[in-house]
Amino acid sequence: MEKKPHFARREFPPREAPSVSLALLLAAVLLLNALLYLCLNKWYDASGRAETDPGQCPLGHFSLGAVKNCSPWLSCEAINREVRRLKCVGEGAVKKVFLSEWKENKVVLSQLTNSELKDDFLHGLKMLKALQSKHVVRLLGYCEQQFTILTEYHPLGSLRGLNETLHIPKYKGMNTWRHRLMLAIDYVSVIRYLHSSPLGTLVMCDSNDLDKVLSQYLLTSDFHILVNDLDALPLVNRSAGRLVKCGHRELRGEFVAPEQRWPYGEDVPFEDDLMPPYDEKTDIWKIPDVSNFLLGHVEGSDIVRLHLFDIHAACKKKDPADRPSAREVLDTYRKVLTLLIREAAMPGTREML
């Protein structure tokens, strides 16, 4: 008698398994979000530098290089005796800049060149002294009598050279949308700091075109941004009815905010006395243009621009009152960074859920 074939009974997994997998996936996403939050918070708030003092030293002191001890700002006598000029590395309308050396450390010595602009020079010194933080270049010393300022040296120079720097083999690995977005966050962080500084609401007036803006900031070797030139930093005080004007000449072009342009048409000659003043929202108008430069044209940068489209459109509102604050822009930038890093770490998560 022929035996019937024996079929083993197939065991099916419990119906609850898909829900268990989903729960595990959700837990993994929540854990990733928590790790991202902790890492990004550390980057936002620490970055190896304190909010109020760049060298973990009390105001009026600094630390430099490998030496962690705090030294008082160098006086006229100390600068004349201990600082050696090496070469001139730049010259602007107000001052000449020399690469110099102090106790085997490279430093920068700035010297007034136009006596008619000494008030601008001294204003910049006053701002440097009062605004020392992780956002501002480190002050090492000064001599008011000789109109000299000593600051920390950053070999990568100003932001104008960012694209050239990122083509150097040593730094090519930094030429990504993530590092570029972090630089944009740094830039907006500086604007936020100036708008809520210990002195009040300050406006970055040396910003009439993109090249001029980029020249005001330094790129550090660990790829952060510092504001370097504070000669033109007037104060807005709404409670006292004090607004600002960036200089006494007519400003033109799409880069400057609409309220900075002559409002009475070509038929009326420009007169400084008739030009209405404005507030810090001029800085907000310029953020999209500066960020567009910082983001560059690398893989992923267009996706970043897409996520920033709405906040940048708000920055370009014609009425200054309709533009967001620097804090609101900064919060949006940080949220976009967090979102894009999360999506890059777990591609396809959205579809799986």
In the predicted model, what is the mean pLDDT of residues 149-171?
96
Q: Which residues contact 236 (CB under 8 A, 6 or more apart)?
A: 200, 201, 202, 203, 242, 243, 244, 279, 280
Residue 158 has pLDDT above 90, yes or no: yes
- 243 close to 166: Cβ distance less than 8 angstroms: no
Cα dihedral: 200, 204, 205, 211 (round 10): 180
Structure tokens given for 208: 């009439």
Bridge partners (DSSP) of residue 88 are 98
How does 97-107 read in b/e, with b if 16+ C-beta sit within 10 Å?
Answer: bbbbebeeeeb
pLDDT of amino acid 46: 40
Structural domains in the chain, sorted by start:
71-152 (3.30.200.20), 157-344 (1.10.510.10)
- Residue 311: phi, psi to the nearest 5? -70, -35
- 94 close to 120: Cβ distance less than 8 angstroms: yes
Residue 192 has pLDDT above 80, yes or no: yes
Quickly state the pLDDT bin for 55 (edges 50, 70, 90): low
pLDDT of amino acid 21: 62
DSSP state of 113: -
Structure tokens given for 189: 């962080």
Residue 224 has pLDDT above 90, yes or no: yes
Residue 175 has pLDDT above 80, yes or no: yes
In the predicted model, what is the mean pLDDT of residues 331-346?
92
pLDDT of amino acid 92: 84
pLDDT of amino acid 299: 96
In 3D space, the residue among 192, 184, 316, 206 whose CA is nearest the CA of residue 259 turns out to be 316
Alpha helix (H) ranges present in the chain? Answer: 17-45, 76-82, 118-130, 162-165, 177-195, 210-215, 281-295, 301-307, 309-315, 326-345, 349-352
Q: What's CA 352's distance to the chain center, in Å?
A: 36
Q: How far apart are CA 85 and CA 222, in angstroms?
A: 26
Q: How far apart are CA 140 and CA 63, in angstroms?
A: 8
pLDDT of amino acid 350: 47
Residue 16 has pLDDT above 70, yes or no: no
